[in-house]
Structure 1
């Protein structure tokens, strides 16, 4: 008889919301109870509402200072601890939430951590029970102390992109005529421990290139309020001319990517969503390139802008029409099956 469990999911960053939405729905269809906490940073709260995920908001963004970040993550773990003790979940599941792992370990709850970048800092003073990661990453690339490693087929974005159905009217809502070349851009993650300043310089140069190209409009997606203000200060003339738009509220990232002619980002989820959808994708990430991005680049789904000379090779033009192909996600089913194996141990 299958064991029905109570699973605690923690949403620590904006990309975790669309990723976990089908996982939550799949676990509930299989008879498990899921409860969700979330960290109030970036667009997490807005996206959770957009995806219909009830959450308990705990903690916030702790900025760029490393010591303050560590202190904040530990403080958030202490905030989560009494909630975990009360709820008594069977399993704690997240995409690299350090606070969740710490709180779960203090409460004696098994932990399962998902990751898709092998160079992320997961330094814990204790072991993780299970790690889930794409099969593009070899087991030997993981240095954290872990009892079990599960390698799923495809990439993280393959969990939810196959079920995507594009909406209509997004560009109209943003005031963008259909004939313009839409370039969606997301700055590098400047608060991340793996950030390289070179990414910011490359990103600025790409903005300049796009701005010089006729009939283009940039949809800019700052990661936080500080980036928003910096962009307004540096590129205010593009905003005033209507050649750059910063959406006033969170938008469905997949929908925006689908309606874009190309996507340029400092790495991360949005660039891999574009690759999964077949939208021309360019990454200016200047940290150590992970196995997932290398595989996407080798298969032609992603172009890495590593050197300044690479910028001139960005093809700024209207993309070929995409074909909507809603399909079943084998990656999602694989993850759900393996999570149930973990629960059933």
Structure 2
């Protein structure tokens, strides 16, 4: 059986790279497609994962997103017709799902974003199997699923696919020219150009509020416009107080040596919290999967207002060790989505 994997974002890239390694171990043929978008390609290179780079992100406008997807669908079609996969496994990728559906290729979908309404409408009705964490909320996803599809839940979260066997590597500090003795904040701004994002941007006020309380802020932008804005606002502190990596970095190791992670999304905050590192996410909606991770005992905090984020960040930075948690049992006992994927594939075989 030949399997097609598609990854649109850095989170999906590290997930699909983990899938690819496991699927090869189980004797499957696999190929991976991605697109040109922030750290996605360089992350796959860092993970020594071969891929086809197909298309690019469409930017913040609806017209741009539509045209980028149309172009990507044409390009994907040529590759997929040549590769002849038996099945597609992907997060909710409109271009990949439409190509697979048009070529009669069955789809295994994964998602943890019930709030991404437009993308869910374009993808989940086309999938034959939908795999979700049991903590996402079945009812929130079920409304997108048609009668003949199968919704499969697993007892864990996506991030465990690449955290279970993780061992930190201190060389990440040398690459960024930082020291273990420094108070380091890993910062990821909000996904302001996503179709679902209809909220105010907060990353500049948050950075202004915390910059004097950390030795280094490692800033992982999502878009070139965020790089430009940060460089303009903090022009005298770039490279000294704020470091902006130009290529993918081993963020899992970086979390280990950091005092705090702050994210306008959720993935980086969840990753770090699952490793026991105090993490704040300021995505405006309270996500059920994040609430469950907190209930497991992981140090994941939700703040909506800039003043809340800054106050909590100052408190954590005053004694970072106090907020760290041993999460090894959670990582060991909870499940990865790869197990659910392998079950579906074994049934097909």
Give TM-score, length-normalised by structure 1.
0.90
Q: Distance in 1 between matches of 2:229 and 2:80?
A: 38
- Give the CA deviation at 1:329: 7.3
- Return the offset for 1:67: 2.0
CA contact (8 A) 1:163 1:329 kept: no
How far off its partner does 1:342 sit?
5.4
> Match for residue 62 of structure 2?
66
2:157/2:337 contact within 8 Å kept: no
1:80 pairs, out of 76, 83, 94, with 76
Match of 1:223 in 2: 222
Aligned: 1:157 with 2:166: no
CA contact (8 A) 1:163 1:328 kept: no
Task: State which of 172, 176, 179 in structure 1 corresponds to 2:178.
Answer: 176
Distance 1:305 1:253 in 2: 22
Query: Residue by residue, what CA displacement relative to the aligned partner does 1:165-191 show, whole Å, maximum 9, x if unpaired?
Result: 110132233222332210010110111
Picking from 332, 342, 345, the partner of 1:340 is 345
Deviates more, 1:227-236 or 1:74-83: 74-83
Contact 1:185 1:264 in 2 (8 A): yes
Change (3 A) 1:130 1:336: closer
Equivalent of residue 169 in structure 2, options 167, 170, 185: 167
Residue 64 of structure 1 aligns to a residue whose secondary structure is coil
- Give the superposed CA RMSD: 2.2
The answer for unaligned runs of 5 or more in structure 1 is none
Output one character per residue of 1:232-276: Cα deviation in whole Å (capped at 9) or x when no partner. Answer: 111112216x11111232111212222211000101311111111
* 1:141 and 2:140 correspond: yes
Matches within 5 A, 1:252-331: 252-286=250-284, 288-301=285-298, 302-311=300-309, 312-314=311-313, 315-317=316-318, 319-320=320-321, 330-331=335-336
Question: Residue 330 and residue 285 in structure 1: after superposition, are their counterparts in 2 closer, same or farther (change >3 A)?
Answer: closer
Is the 8 Å Cα contact of residues 93 and 112 (structure 1) preserved in structure 2?
Answer: yes
Give the structure 1 partner of residue 197 of structure 2: 195
Q: Is the 8 A contact 2:107 2:126 kept in 1?
A: no
1:137–1:177 Cα change, 3 Å: closer
**Cα distance in 1 between the residues matched to 2:166 and 2:283:** 26
Q: Report SS of the residue matched to 1:316.
A: helix
Show CA shifts across 1:25-69 (max 9, x none): 111111111111111111111111111111111111111001220
Deviation at 1:332, TM superposition (A): 4.8
| Structure 1 moving runs of 4+ over 6 Å | 321-324
> For residues 96 and 6 of structure 2, what CA distance do their matches in structure 1 show?
7
Cα distance, 1:323–1:117 mapped onto 2, change above 3 Å: same
Once the 2 structures are TM-superposed, how far is the Cα of residue 138 of structure 1 from its aligned partner?
2.6
Partners of 2:30 and 2:68 in 1: CA distance: 26
Aligned residues: 335
User: Unaligned regions of 5+ residues in structure 2, if any?
Assistant: none
Does the CA contact (< 8 Å) of 1:162 and 1:328 recur in 2? Answer: no
| Aligned mates of 1:245, 1:271 — CA distance in 2 | 19
Give CA deviations for 1:285-337 in whole Å, capped at 9, x if unaligned.
12x33221222244453100113442212322453378796969742552243
- Does 1:96 find its partner at 2:92? yes
In the superposition, the TM-score normalised over structure 2's length comes to 0.89
Contact 2:261 2:280 in 1 (8 A): yes
- The answer to whether the Cα contact below 8 Å between 1:26 and 1:336 also exists between their aligned partners in 2 is no
- Alpha-carbon deviations, 1:214-245, whole Å to 9, x = none? x52111111122211111111112216x1111
Question: Are the equivalent residues in 1 in contact too, given 2:204–2:230 (CA < 8 A)?
Answer: no
Matched, 1:130 2:129: yes
